[in-house]
Amino acid sequence: MDNSSEGKANSIEEVVNVAEFEAIAKRKLPKMAYDFYASGAEDQWTLRHNKIAFSRIRLRPRVLVDVSKVDMSTSVLGFKVPMPIMVAPTALHKLAHPEGELATARAASSVGTIMVLSFSSSYNLEEVAGASSGLKFFQLYVYNDRKIAESLVVRAENAGFKAIVLTGDTPRLGRREADIKNRFTLPPNVTLKNLEGLMSVELDESKGSGLEAYASNTMDRSLSWKDIGWLKSITQLPILVKGVLTGEDASLAINAGASGIIVSNHGARQLDGVLPTIVALEEVVNAVQGRIPVYLDGGVRRGTDIFKAFALGAQAVLVGRPVIYGLASDGQAGVEKVLKLLSDELELVMSLCGCCSVDDIKPSHIDRASDFFSSRL
């Protein structure tokens, strides 16, 4: 967290930036739940640098531009949204607030944006679909028993979800040492709700993280690019591939028939030492060459971060932990404030940089001589 913001706000009425929600959430949540959301893999280098990397990019504002009207709207897979900020898939929202994903869905709908529901949600996809009329995508993991994935994809399509987000970076769960130390397990009122009736959802924490042990026994390690075709054979929904960090994989995603790419390192929870997402973005964008949309997930905490992502070729961003911290702080109202703060900050930076629409944000708005480009971390 930005040290200048830490600990200053005691309630969401006092919050003036997204970073301040984390301190409120940390005070409210049990240690096991907070650590589950906040921690990254191993030494957490990538977790830190997901945010640090943004700070090393310098802006080149243009002045004396008529910015009396600033339009932040954009299109995501053909769906018009008023701002280019989506809710990233994050697991088990009920650990943060009793209304869990239901509150998050209502908040996303209230501001007109898209929520990507986690496969590992604590309310099932039908319940979340019914919580609001807003646009929703469904994130998919693939387990050894592929009939589970097939069932969930069909259920998501029938429930009105508009895209499938295939998570491609999780043949195994990353080593999250905070969960191991805490012997992470689920309280009695929280479960992996989408899997009820399909398989056992009991977590065994006797040797460390119960979630890691569960994933080790269930994840399909044979999942590969050819399986995009398998998914397309069972659904008419567009397939986004989440977890791409290289130009090579971006090209493979296009060849496999993906409808879009989410540049993501899983919130730094999988492989430590990989590139921060904002660093990997430009390589992916250059490989894609406009053939499919590219979105960015990871480290976004300010409107300036969103602006920088657009300048490097992203067409929208996803936010994860800030949404969880807003949810823990004050349920639906907390999530709404997180999204509104980011939206307001983006509108401000666009105005100060002379951009009336997101299409006006160009590579020329960032300084190629800044530390970010000279050292690449």
Q: What is the pLDDT of residue 149?
A: 94
Q: What is the pLDDT of residue 3?
A: 43
pLDDT digits (tens, 9 = 90+) for 177-224: 998 899 888 888 999 999 998 876 666 555 555 566 566 678 899 999
Which residue in the list 49, 93, 97, 266 is annotated as catalytic?
Answer: 266
294 pLDDT exceeds 60? Answer: yes
Query: Would you say 89 is a known binding-site residue?
Result: yes
pLDDT digits (tens, 9 = 90+) for 2-20: 444 444 677 888 999 999 9
Lowest mean pLDDT among 156-165, 176-185, 257-266: 176-185
Calpha distance 357→240 (Å, rounded): 25
CATH class belonging to 12-375: alpha beta
Calpha distance 333→289 (Å, rounded): 39
Pair 1, 26: CB distance under 8 Å: no
Q: Clarify whether 365 is annotated catalytic.
A: no
375 pLDDT exceeds 90? Answer: no
18 backbone dihedrals φ, ψ, rounded to 5°? -60, -35
Q: Give Cβ neighbours of residue 191 (< 8 Å, ≥ 6 apart).
A: 122, 201
Query: Would you say 303 is a known binding-site residue?
Result: no
Span 76-100, average pLDDT: 97
Q: What is the pLDDT of residue 373?
A: 81
Calpha distance 318→167 (Å, rounded): 14
Query: Would you say 368 is a known binding-site residue?
Result: no
pLDDT digits (tens, 9 = 90+) for 331-340: 999 999 999 9
Query: Would you say 44 is a known binding-site residue?
Result: no
Polymer length in residues for the chain: 377
Q: What is the pLDDT of residue 369?
A: 84
Could you give the C-alpha distances from 231 to 163, 173, 184, 198, in angstroms and in order? Answer: 12, 22, 32, 19
Give pTM, 2 decimals.
0.93
Q: What is the pLDDT of residue 309?
A: 98
44's tokens: 């957490």
Q: Give Cβ neighbours of residue 158 (< 8 Å, ≥ 6 apart).
A: none
* Coil/strand/helix, residue 18: coil
Calpha distance 311→317 (Å, rounded): 12
Q: What is the pLDDT of residue 4?
A: 44
Query: Would you say 170 is a known binding-site residue?
Result: no
Query: Would you say 305 is a known binding-site residue?
Result: no
Where exactly are the structural domains of the chain?
A: 12-375
The position carrying tokens 């932990």 is 321
Helices (H), ranges, 29-113: 31-38, 45-55, 100-111
Calpha distance 83→300 (Å, rounded): 14
Pair 83, 73: CB distance under 8 Å: yes
* Coil/strand/helix, residue 11: coil
270 backbone dihedrals φ, ψ, rounded to 5°? -105, -85
Query: Would you say 242 is a known binding-site residue?
Result: yes
105 backbone dihedrals φ, ψ, rounded to 5°? -60, -40
Q: What is the pLDDT of residue 206?
A: 53
Query: Would you say 320 is a known binding-site residue?
Result: yes
Could you give the C-alpha distances from 7 to 11, 19, 29, 58, in angstroms and in order? Answer: 11, 10, 15, 27
Nearest to 210 by CA among 228, 190, 224, 227: 190
* Coil/strand/helix, residue 322: helix
